Chains A and B, each alone.
Chain A
């Protein structure tokens, strides 16, 4: 269940209250997010839409602990992340958040396997355990046979699938996808969206996705519209699951 009125019961996976983000540009204050409320349950698939500059990516950055709000708070699985120190927040991110970027952001000098392995280097898993996890993640995204390929040897869609494998390999609490199909052709975009669908459907992942693409948004259970830093409506969309 997704709510934007701040009346959630407090049992959701993500609970955002009065979230604001203001940037200072010279003497001018830019209010990117203004008193935003949001409740997301575990297993939800939420898409954020809105015009450029509406605050979608800023919201995603705040939910992922990459940035700190000017006001308000964010609670994820009981952790109040807006009060964490930078060091704690980094550790929290490693444990709870899987990022999927529009430009894939793979490290070009590492193979698909090594890229996916990166988040696991932060854990105490043995080399053999890491290998097993990476192979599983690559198998889930359908790239088990490409694990020793470098990003330059993969298509855009395959690169994004490696990016998704990297995001899911530490089994994070939720996935944050920033325009995951923004740089792909239609066919590849559909394959990526099918994959995200599977992660939500088969693996019960919680996914929050920013997109400009209405066809991508259709896949989500709920589409939230942001305008001038405010969530204006929540539309139940997508396919009934």
Chain B
């Protein structure tokens, strides 16, 4: 290897937030539990697929390498604010390296349910330094569009308590000992998270969607904003034979 080449390979190859250039696009949704963001991004994906785009879906806590450590740490309640922050960043790094950057390079539309802003909101609410955690996630790809589903705490609580059987320990911020009562703790902790999200709307230019509207109204708004961002993006999806097979079955039935 020549000296110059060697020197070049010694310098950083890590790309920072806002500096990545890929042919694909990244759309992400954020909001507290019960804001309806997962429903909205699933509907967005259905529509994009039907329009002929190649999409790729990426979820929070999805790295097979890290998931087990996180799960065990949570079950044993062994995570502190710092290790909670770092293990989620590790998971996110794996997700970035395997599920976000490669499809973006391939020109796909990557859809993510929760992104770095979830980490910023949660970690800062746990007492982790605001600037430090933003620095930690510098390797993240800046989304093309980040949607924030704004909802009141009361409305979100109604939806969650109606639908799910139990609030989880860390989601309720029980590790912070805010209250002995899990519902009360959840209310205080999620309240803090909303405050953090509200601060980030300006800081990161998040697109706010009023999540108290009907599902259809929200989806119409989302689609029209995404459509604008899609100008010039290739539709490259090839219909697979399995799809054709299912069509045949439907028409026969």
Q: Is chain B found bound to chain A in the same assembly?
A: no
Name B residues whose Cβ lies closer than 8 Å to a Cβ of A: none
